[in-house]
Amino acid sequence: MSDTKSSAPVLMFDSGIGGLTVLREARVLMPERRFVYVADDAAFPYGDWEEPALNARIVDIFGELLDRFKPAIAVIPCNTASTLALGDLRAAYPDTPFVGTVPAIKPAAERTRSGLVSVLATPGTVKRQYTRDLIAQWAQRCHVRLVGSTQLARLAEAYMRDGFVDEEAVRAEIAPCFIEQDGRRTDIVVLACTHYPFLVNRMRKTAPWPVDWLDPAEAIARRAKTLLENVAIRPPTAMSDVERDVAVFTSGRMDFATRRLMQSFGLSIL
Ligand code: DGL
């Protein structure tokens, strides 16, 4: 068996800590792999950005990251980035396999019984043509409500650092997801931002009725694992000598709570 701990790492990229919801699943499925977690916190939140500027930023940053870490694959556990930049990233860096994260509209459409599905995401993801195309392709027979939240990603960041979240704020942000129509009710809410699973217990508590909260983290981790099985093992690079999982924050500024959070995920700060 090859020693994958000392081979090229899996790179994970999000605007903040949301991608950690996918990292924890990926670790379970691929305990032998090494991970580099990148948070573009200097630009957080991505949900508020104009598309051309954000696209250019992400493509640029990847140039540096791929040079520096030479990953076996790059995973983007961020809907806001994937629905915008995945195509350009693949075109710009054809030697790197990319795994994106896009709203789980297809599985939601397959699973719903009432036919009323809500997609909870950042304002950016809700606006994207990519998201609209997913609905047109997979959910024609459902009523899909797109709910753009300006606050939830921030609330999740604060919750993971400080251990506290304003439940009333969570209630207000998720409320538009719940629809009653002709005796039917929304029965699935797609968590289309990787930050949101951190708040799912608060969402359950403040929801007006029980629904299935669809978190795609495990599916993304599985896709990454499958793709890795087909990727030739790249020879170790200087970075590969470091036998630990690392976190990089683009702002270069990390407060105590962030450091502690990264440590709790077993990530050393670079
Ligand atoms: N975690 C991100 C996502 O999945 C985005 C959060 C943000 O930066 O607005 O969409």
pLDDT tens profile 28-86: 999 999 999 999 999 999 999 999 999 999 999 999 999 999 999 999 999 999 999 99
Question: What pLDDT does 230 receive?
Answer: 79
Residue 39's DSSP bridge partners are 14, 249
Question: Is 49 near ligand 1, meaning CB less than 6 Å away?
Answer: no
> Which of 8, 43, 61, 78 is an active site residue?
78
Domains and CATH numbers, the chain: 3-101+218-269 (3.40.50.1860), 105-215 (3.40.50.1860)
Ligand 1 atom showing the smallest separation from residue 44 Cα: 8
Question: Is 80 near ligand 1, meaning CB less than 6 Å away?
Answer: yes
How buried is residue 51: exposed, middle or buried, by Cβ count under 10 Å (0-12/13-18/19+)? middle
Question: What pLDDT does 1 receive?
Answer: 44
Report, in angstroms and rounded to the nearest whole number, the Rg of the chain calculated over CA atoms.
18
Question: Is 149 near ligand 1, meaning CB less than 6 Å away?
Answer: no
Pocket test for ligand 1, best of 38, 122, 152, 157 (most atoms within 8 A of CB): 122
Quote the percentage of the chain above a pLDDT of 90. Answer: 90
Question: Is 118 near ligand 1, meaning CB less than 6 Å away?
Answer: no
Rounded to whole angstroms, the Cα distance separating 258 from 29 reads 25
